Structure 1
Amino acid sequence: MLVATLVSATGGSLVDAALIARLSREVASVTSSAVLESGVAADLFAEGAQPRKLEADLRIALGEAAIDLIVQPAATRRKALFLADMDSTMIGQECIDELAAYVGLKDLVSAITERAMRGEIAFEPALRERVALLKGVKLSVVDEIIRERITLTPGGRELVRTMRANGAYTALVSGGFTVFTGPISATIGFDEHRSNVLIAEDGILTGTVADPILGKQAKLDSLVELRSRFGLGPEQTMAVGDGANDLAMLGEAGLGIAFRAKPAVAAAAHARLEHADLTALLYAQGYKGEEIVRG
C-alpha cells in the first residue's frame, strides 16, 4: 500500500474535507484517507498503484494549489535516522556568505555558493576558493552572525525534537563550518553535528579549511555509517537538503527530501517541499498534529 501525504503551505488551511473528498473521487487508486491535522495535512492511501503514477495523478488533480505531496510505501514511513543539511535547509542563510559580508565580499561569495549548490562547479574547490576570501576575518564575528543574521527554518525544531522523542537519531551534516553547526545544532536539538573546520590563528581566519573537506561524499558516508551503527535498513532513514552536495545523501536515504531546492536536486529527490515548513516531514511519517513536540 502507498500513502500520499498532503501538506498545506505554511500558515494555510488548504487540505480540507472537500479537497480530500474530491481527490478520492478523481484518483481511482485512492481507497481511503485520514486527517493528520485539520486543514493542514492528510493521508490518502492507495492500492495497486505505482508511486510515480499516483504522484502524477494527484499533482494533476491538485493543479496550482500550494500543497506539498509526498508519496511512499505506507509500511516503512516512520523513520529511525534523520540527517539534515544546515545552510538554506535547517536555517534560512548560507553561513559562509554571511561571513563574507564582513569583508564586503558577500556578492562575490554568494555567486560562487549558488553555482556550487546548483552543481555547476565542484564543491570542494569552490569551498576553498570562498574560504580564501575570508582571510583576516575575526572568528569572534561568528557569535554576532548567529545572533543577528541567522534564522531557523520554521518547523525544524519541532521536526528534530519530535523524532528524538520517539527514539530516532538525528544528525546535522553540513558542508559549512563547526563554529556554526555546533551552536545551531544545539539550539535545534540534534544528537550530533558534522561539518568543516575553519583554521584560525590568534582568533583570525587564515583563509584555509582543514582536510578532509566534508562534501557530497562525506554526507553520503555519514548516512551509511550511522545506518550501520544503529543496525538500520535503508528504508528506516530520511534526509533533507537543498544543494547538489546533498544529492548522494538524499538518494541513499529511504526518503530523500529536497527543501526549497535547486532544480536538479528537486528533480532527483524522492520528494520535494516547496510550500510547507519542515513539520511536513513529520506528517510524512504519519505523525498527527497533537503528537508534534512544539515550542
Structure 2
Amino acid sequence: MEFKLLDKDFKIPVLGLGTWGMGGFMETDSSSDEESIRAIKDAINIGYTHIDTAEVYGAGHTEELIGKAIKDLDRSKLIITSKVFKTNLKYDDVITSCKKSLEKLQTNYIDLYLIHAPNPKISLEETMKAMDYLIEQKLVRFIGVSNFSVNEMKEAQRYSKNKIIANQIPYNLATRNNDYKGNCTNMESEIIPYCQENDIIIIACRPIERGLLLEPNPVLDELSKKYNKTKAQIAINWLISKKGIITIPKSTNIEHLKENLCSVGWNLSIEDIKLLDETKFENPSS
C-alpha cells in the first residue's frame, strides 16, 4: 500500500474503505448486516487499514457494524475516520456525538474526526473549541473537515489550536469543480490548490461517481486496454496520482475490494494523466 503524510507522525493509505450505505443511508437498514461486517473484515484481511464512516450513516448503525468488525483486531494497525453531522456542531453536541461514535465503534479513540459539513447557523468558533477539547482528551488524534470551502477552512483554522489536516470532498473524473448535489463548489479551481499548498489532505469520496465512470467512454476504454486495468482502476489511479489526494471507494463485494486495491502500485504516465485532466466526462447533473 502507498501512503501520504497527514502529519509528520501520521501517514494515511492512498486507498481506504468507504462505508456510506452499509447499514443504511440516512436511516438504519439491518437487512445486510452480515454482508457488511464480512465486507469490512474482508477488506482489512486483504490490506485495507483506513475505514471512513460518519455518525449519520445508517443513523449510527454503520459505526456499530464497523465496531463489530474490528472489535477483536489490533486497533493500532487501523485508521478510523468518522464525522460529526452539521446539526450537532454546538460545543456540547460535538463532544456527545464523538463519545457516541466511540461507543458504537467499540474503540477509545478516533484517528481522524471531521466536521461533516459547515453549518452557518452555528458558530464555527464554538465547534472548533469542541474539536480541540476532543484532542486534548485524547478521544481524537487529528481533526479535519468535509465539504468546506477555502474561506470556511481558513476560518476554522483561525479558531483551532490544532492543524486541520484533511478535507473530504466528492471529487472524481466526472465531478471536477462543482458537485452536482451542491455540497461542494470550486474544488479544482480553489479547494484543491489551497489544500495542496497548505499540506491538507484531500479525501476524495465517490471516486467512480457511483458507477458513472464505468459506463462506455472512449478515453477510459482505451486506457483500460493500454494498461490492462479496469476503468475503475484507471479512475482511482488518476486520483491518487495527484499531490495530497487519497480516496475511499465503497464496496461489499470481495472481488471489487481486490480490484480497487489493484489501483495502487503502478502509475499512469504523465501524458495520460494530462489526457484525463483535459477530458470532459459526462456530469451526473446533465
TM-score by length of 1: 0.28
> Which structure's CA Rg is the greater one?
1
Higher strand fraction: Structure 1 or Structure 2? 1
